[in-house]
Each structure stands twice: as structure tokens, then as C-alpha cells.
Copies of this chain bind each other. A is one copy, B any other.
Amino acid sequence: MFPAAEGVAPAVTAVFTTVLTEGPISRVALARRLGLSSAAVTKAARPLIEAGYLEELAATERTGPGAGRPASPLAIRADREFFVGVKITGDELIGVVCDLRAQVRASAHRRLDAADVDHVLTQLGELVGDLLDGPGDYRARTRWLGLAVSGDVDHSTGLVRYSPFLRWHDVALAERAEKTTGLTVTVENDVKALTTAEQWFGEGVGADSFALVTVGAGIGCGLVVNGRIVSGAHGVAGEIGHISFDVNGPDCHCGSRGCVEAVAGADAIVSQARAVSGRPSLTFSDAVSLARSGDAAVGAVFARAGTAIGAGIAAVANLVGPARIVVSGEGLSAYDLFEPHIRASFQRQAFGAAAECPLSIRPLPFEEWARGAAAVSIKALVAS
């Protein structure tokens, strides 16, 4: 399988991971970066090159003084292997094929008529078939399938303990999906999957700690601290949506009041917008249009939501002090309406140097969720 599979040589994994995340890099630079001797890097790189996972690039133009043998950087051979990632929602499957660098090569989706496990698996099997047997001829070079599900997921066993949106309890999803597809399956919580993608292939690269905040139906948060994802001892972590920033705020379905989600969740925004506009059938995109066309009352709803999100982000910054924070999600398709209020609120409530934490605020293509699932399976390959 993977060159380091049996007898796991730490250096092999370290070298591969570093080349994967920090791009073409010479052996000497790797040695410095990893605290290894250059001899160790040479030895670790060889099986990876022989197995086709790495390749040597032509010497690049020199930097520094000018004398000396030029480096021949190691790079990932992105098309050595492909990975399928699928995000499972209550009414849809979104699937992608990614290469080793987590670049999306193909995508497809399927509507779900029901969320029962059998139906989902049937559709999943067909979706994977469409992706792998369609143009691109990925089938032969694909062994892994990553699934992303919202809710409480045990990544190590592939068990979905409880997923409220899907109404699943204790579903052995990895096992069943392996039977259906013949691929090796990883299952992960959707926010954690997205966080993994960001950690290895996005803005989290090189950062020892960072936070990813997702804004959509719910407000979630994936956390990386000391280079590792935070899971929560009781299965709860990153519940930024249920931090209360206003003791007198509106009731939240969780039983508390003034939660971020009760003000900034998609449902909350729609119902507030309906109330202030007097239009009971208004949708989220109607609200966005109204706000953009200058409706002050609806604009204030978005402002209030942005302020709440900023408060939640400030709490993250004050508590764990991530190196950077990415704010993303479907809700941020209207990010122009949120952004200034998120930033202002964050600056107001971040304590001292925490206010220096860079925020990236950007919308999130829905495919990203599926890409996150694929990223988890890439990580699983490396660990295998």
C-alpha cells in the first residue's frame, strides 16, 4: 500500500506530509524543517519516489549567495492516486473526485428522496460509480472514499453515533459503505472534515493553531490547537453557535438565550427578516436582495447577525488564541452584508493581542464540504 504502511517509519510519513502541505521543497529544506539529518530525508524519500507518490522537479533558479549545487525539490505526483469525497445532507449527496493534492477533478450530486440508510447507500453507490467510471478514468487509481456527515461521528470506527439532520442513530456507515462501493471508507463530522482540508491544503497550512467558522443553517467551528484537531471529551467541541453573547437575547432551541445561532443562523435571519419586512413568505435570498437594495430594517438584521458572529469569534480568539481564523459557509454567499459587522464586533471584543488575529471571511462553494471529506481520506492514506 503506502510505502510506510508496515513498520511505519516516522520519517517517511513526516516527509510525505510536509511535501504534501508545503509544496515542492528540497531535501535539505525538509531536513531543516523536520529536524532530521539530510541523510534521513534522502532515505525516507526514496521509497516514496519509487512508489510514484513523489517526484523530483528540475532544479529551480537559485536564491541566496549563488554558488553550490542547485536543489532538486520534491513534489507530489498529484495524479498518482485519486480520492472520492461525499458530503451527505438530508436531501442531497454532493460528491467530488480529488487528486492527491486535494484538487477537485470531477464533481456530481444526487438528490435524496429519503434519508434512510439503505436509500442513501444505494444513491451513494451510484454516485461513486458516476464519478469513477465517467470521463477521467479514475476507477483504477482510486481506493479511498471519504464521507462527511453532520453530527456526532466516531472517526476511528466509522460509526455515526447521532446525526440530527439525517435522524440516524448508531449507523456503522464506514462498514456499510465499504460493502457498497468496494472502497476503503473514512467517515468524519462535516465541520471537522472541512477543518482538515483547510489545515492540510488551505489557509491552515503552516499554522500550529487555527479556527474555521462555518456560517449557514447552523454556526459551527472547527478548531486546530497545537497542530491537532480538537474533539471534545464529551463529543462536544466548536459549538460557537451556542455561545451566548446576550443574556437577554432571543430564546434558542438549545434551551439557552442569546446564542449566536439564535440571531445569526439562517432560520433566525429569515424569521427576523420576515418580521421586520412584514412579508411572511420571504426567503433567505429575498432578505439578501432587500438588504442589498437598501432596506434598512432588513440590513439591520444582517448587521445584528454579523455582530453576533463577531462576538463568537472573539470568544474563540480570547480562549484559544488561534494563529488565524477563517469564516466561511453557505450563509456567507451574502458575505458583503456580514463582513464589516463581523470585523467590527470582533475588534471590539477581542482582548489585547487577540485582536491581531487575521480573519479571512469568504464564501464557501458547497463542493468544499465534499472536498473536506476527500481530504480526510488523504490523511487516512498517509496514516495507513
Residues from chain B with a CB closer than 8 A to the CB of A376 are none
CB under 8 Å from chain B, chain A span 344-365: 348-349, 351-354, 356-357
CB under 8 Å from chain B, chain A span 204-243: 207-209, 221, 223, 225-226, 228, 230-240, 242-243
B354, A319: Cβ atoms under 8 Å? no
Residue with the highest number of chain B CB atoms closer than 10 Å, among A209, A254, A317, A318: A318
A160: Cβ under 8 A from any B Cβ: no
Shortest beta-carbon distance from A11 to chain B in Å = 15
B351, A232: Cβ atoms under 8 Å? no
A233, B318: Cβ atoms under 8 Å? no
A323: Cβ under 8 A from any B Cβ: yes
A245: Cβ under 8 A from any B Cβ: yes
B233, A209: Cβ atoms under 8 Å? yes
Residues from chain B with a CB closer than 8 A to the CB of A324 are 233
Interface residue from B240, B249, B254, B320 paired with A232 (Cβ < 8 Å): B320
Shortest beta-carbon distance from A77 to chain B in Å = 32
Known: A223-B320, A318-B243, A320-B319. A357 touches B233 (CB 8 A): yes
Residues from chain B with a CB closer than 8 A to the CB of A231 are 321
CB under 8 Å from chain B, chain A span 274-315: 311, 314-315
A65: Cβ under 8 A from any B Cβ: no
B348, A235: Cβ atoms under 8 Å? no
Residues from chain B with a CB closer than 8 A to the CB of A221 are 319
B319, A240: Cβ atoms under 8 Å? yes
Shortest beta-carbon distance from A314 to chain B in Å = 8
B316, A319: Cβ atoms under 8 Å? yes
Q: Which of A's residues lie within 8 Å of B, judged by CB? A: 207-209, 221, 223, 225-226, 228, 230-240, 242-249, 254-256, 311, 314-324, 348-349, 351-354, 356-357
